[in-house]
Chains A and B, each alone.
Chain A
Amino acid sequence: MKREAITSLLARRTFLRKIGRAATCAGAIVAAGALSVTKKVAAKSESNSSRASFPTKDYDWTKHQWAFGVDATKCIGCLRCVEACKRENDVPGDAHHFRTWVERYVYLEGDKRARVDSHHDPVNIEASGSEQEFRFSNRYQGAKVEKAFFVPKLCNQCTHPACVQVCPTGATYRTQDGVVLIDHKYCIGCQYCVQACPYGARFFRPKEQVSDKCTWCYHRITKGLQPACVEVCPVGARIFGDRNDPQSPISLFIRNNRVQVLRADTGNAPNVFYVGIDKEVS
């Protein structure tokens, strides 16, 4: 009888000891959590006030409104833009991933519709010799060509971008200076945006498993440079600038030409303005 009482007392004591330890641990965790919460509260209340100019020290995105122009009457289809873009933005090397591209429209005599090809057409890959180099094959040499022209294409950085609307994680968004960007840390690779874009401007990076697209070289334009494709274009077919500046190349381009946008009917309100394209270009 006495012995039983002692064992039950011992059991109670070990139980209480365990409880005590558990309580200490829980207390420590709660304390640590509370500490991090207070830190977070402090950080959250701080962050809004500390930014004088955003996104960088020397660049305030509220002061700019970027836009892009394409003069298809000047384009010679040399594809230096495609190469420069790939290099500048570390786009996967094969011919089938690209942020910008150039389409060739050819109407042969008697044809009702244009024949369209781009650098990733097998004939053109063969002409360049590899997928890392880009050139248009002279495949219509000697053919009876009624009309032909080149059209550079890129992301339209729409004012009402469908891709942003469908993104489930807030990984893509439109900046205040008018560029649609992708936060690769928040992109989950669902590719809704690739589907949603009416211009086929987005692609999927297979290695990183994220969506990607033209950013008008946001890292360049925020440093006062031109996008890489504009920089290397030998004929001035690509025009870039700030619409807030009435004397910028793009403002002059829009003012002095009758410009049009692609697929205005989708309501995306694109910001790439075209001159010299034809009815079949969309």
Chain B
Amino acid sequence: MPKHIVRLIVLLVASGAIALIAKWFFTVESFYEYGHYRADSVPEIAAQEPVYKTARYCQSCHSERHAQWSANNHKSVTCETCHGAAEGHPEKGKLPIPADTVKLCTLCHEAMPGRPGTQPQIQVAQHSGGQQCKVCHNPHAPKIAAAAIKVTGDVAAGRQRAAACASCHGAEGISPNDTWPNLAGQSAAYLARILAAYKSGDQKDVVMTPMAQPLSDADIRNLATYYASLTCRTIPSTTRIGDAAAGKALAKNCASCHGATGISSNPAWPHLAGQKAGYLVNVLKAFRGGLRKDPTMAAVVRGLSDADIDNLAAYYAAQSCQPITEARKTP
């Protein structure tokens, strides 16, 4: 073989060998361990820390909220879906949901073509009049207990049974003092719901609990129908508390359920117009303190001060309850 060809072959073999050695030397250890890739990159990727910590992480501190949430309609929506990723919480600060709840809630609940029919959806413009969702809905228990059941009972039987109630609530359902509520003209569905709650123990009161316990379901229906049939009267309160004008501004937050002047649009919710101010104050404080339990009301009253409560009570007590009875009579 000619000398120059031999040299060329030697050169080629030598550079090939050098290339192979260089490849072997420069390829990281784990490269062919499982295939044509760097095996070490897998544990590197797996080592990244999760940012979303799951509801179990939240539960370790917020067990009460967790219990309420997991028992209600939003249980499929995890904490971090609304509150955001829990990474860095609580060290780096609180995790409130965005202040603009309309923007947040309508992400899922704005009526939109393409959303499945099973998804609860609202026409945003008509639903709340620009109110924040949180005003009425507790995000952890969003459903408002408002399934108004039609209550029909016997007025005469109710009148008989009501004799026992008259000493506190008045013979005609108009209470003689400021602490006990007027019942005349109140909606029957609401009265029946509350009486049933006293009977079952869901709602407790030293006086009302023993009164309600012996009532049968028929008694409750009859009583509710009887009081609803009475005509309400607004009696100017003797004790003056709060500032009705300031209460009016606050009452905007209540209007979507209880009506602008305290005349509720839905029979499941009570009328407040012309109600006793002292009674309203007590009830609002009971909601705030958790003595009376209602997820919606609990969310609404959470931010109210004592003065706010006085003002609201003064406002509703000063409203006339008459328009409803008239409105109801005209078809």
Contacts and interface: CB of A to CB of B under 8 A. Distances in A.
Contacts of A264: none
Interface stretch (B34-42, B293-301, B307-315): B34-42
Interface of A: 37, 40, 43-44, 47-48, 54-56, 59, 61, 73-80, 84, 87-88, 104-106, 135-136, 138, 140-141, 143, 145, 148-150, 170-173, 175-176, 181, 183-186, 215, 217-220, 222-223, 225-226, 228, 231-236
B116 A173 contact: no
Contacts of B52: 84, 87-88, 220, 228, 231-232
B33 interface: yes
14 contacts: A47-B30, A78-B108, A80-B81, A104-B114, A135-B107, A138-B111, A172-B37, A173-B36, A183-B44, A185-B41, A186-B41, A219-B46, A231-B54, A232-B80
Contact of A56 (B39, B46, B110): B46
A99 to B, nearest CB: 13
Given A170-B31, A219-B49, A106 B114 contact: yes
B82 to A, nearest CB: 9
Nearest to A74: B116
Given A74-B116, A88-B50, A236-B76, A186 B45 contact: no
A84 B85 contact: yes
B41 A183 contact: yes
Contacts of A218: 45-46
A171 B111 CA distance: 45
B60 interface: no
B112 interface: yes
A173 B112 contact: no
A106 B45 CA distance: 38
A61 B39 CA distance: 12
Contact of B42 (A55, A145, A149, A236): A55
B51 A88 contact: yes
B39 to A, nearest CB: 7
A141 B124 CA distance: 12
Contacts of B25: 37, 40
Nearest to A137: B112
Given A76-B119, A235-B119, A225 B38 contact: no
A220 B50 contact: yes
Given A76-B119, A186-B37, 8 more contacts: A47-B29, A73-B116, A78-B107, A87-B84, A138-B110, A138-B112, A220-B52, A234-B76
B130 interface: no
Contact of A185 (B38, B49, B111, B115): B38
A24 to B, nearest CB: 24
B114 A77 contact: yes
A87 B51 contact: yes
A245 B273 CA distance: 61
B78 to A, nearest CB: 6
Nearest to B119: A76
A173 B50 CA distance: 22
